[in-house]
Copies of this chain bind each other. A is one copy, B any other.
Amino acid sequence: MKTRAMTSTSNASKQTAPATPKREAILSAALEAFATRGVNGVAVPEIAERASVGTGTIYRYFENKEALVNALYCEEKRALRRRLTEHLDPEGEPRALFDEFWNRLVRFARERPAAFRFLELQDHLAYLDPESLALEHRVLSPIRAACEALQQRDVFRSDVRAEVLMTLIWGAFVQLFKTERAGYLSLAEADINSARDACWHMCTSTR
């Protein structure tokens, strides 16, 4: 209701809205705050202050707090997907492909730690609308396709379903950085590489 401040291009709904500086500032401030204390742990005026914006301004760009969370989730999921799939040749040499994929994840986690953490939050699930949740699939489906292809080519083990294998790698990776962030672990370059090797073996070895 009321005039929507921005209108999107004709494409599918929940399109990334045009990036005005204020909108970016709000999303960025919200991301940092949510990543640290969870969606329910952050008050809207606090986001406004971090974004150097009036409280009311947030409501010009987003219908309500829930819409802000959804927009943020979609933007970041899309950014992650872009990072993982862009210019990646799924037909390439398997091990190189796997390493490249792993490195892209590492770069995302290192360069955008708040985004990485936010995407893995649990407590925003209550906020996410079906459309946002659908994005999850769009991120994972190319990865699953790659897993299946590698199973076909007998590179990856076939005694584990592709979805399961994918989940194991994803979980292992996420936990690595989550544990580091919690201060229980400090990851040297070597640790990350050895973890990558271990995951590769998880996918390929059968004895």
Minimum CB–CB distance from A155 to chain B (whole Å) comes to 14
Q: Which residues of B contact A164 (CB under 8 A)?
A: 176, 185, 187, 191, 194-195, 198
> CA of A184 to CA of B173 in the docked complex: distance in angstroms?
18
> CA of A168 to CA of B187 in the docked complex: distance in angstroms?
13
Q: Which residues of B contact A179 (CB under 8 A)?
A: 167, 171
Q: Which residues of B contact A191 (CB under 8 A)?
A: 160-161, 164
When the two chains form their complex, are residues B194 and A198 in contact, meaning their CB atoms are under 8 A apart? no
Interface check A206, CB cutoff 8 A = yes
- Of the four ranges (under 10, 10 to 19, 20 to 34, 35 or more), the interface on chain A belongs to 35 or more
Partner of A40, one of B38, B197, B201: B38
Interface check A13, CB cutoff 8 A = no
Interface segment, one of A15-23, A79-87, A116-124:
A116-124
Q: Which residues of B contact A159 (CB under 8 A)?
A: 194, 197
Partner of A205, one of B136, B160, B178, B201: B201
Interface check A165, CB cutoff 8 A = yes
> CA of A41 to CA of B174 in the docked complex: distance in angstroms?
24
When the two chains form their complex, are residues A160 and B38 in contact, meaning their CB atoms are under 8 A apart? no
Within A139-188, the residues touching B (CB, 8 Å) are: 140, 157, 159-161, 163-165, 167-176, 178-179, 182, 184-185, 187
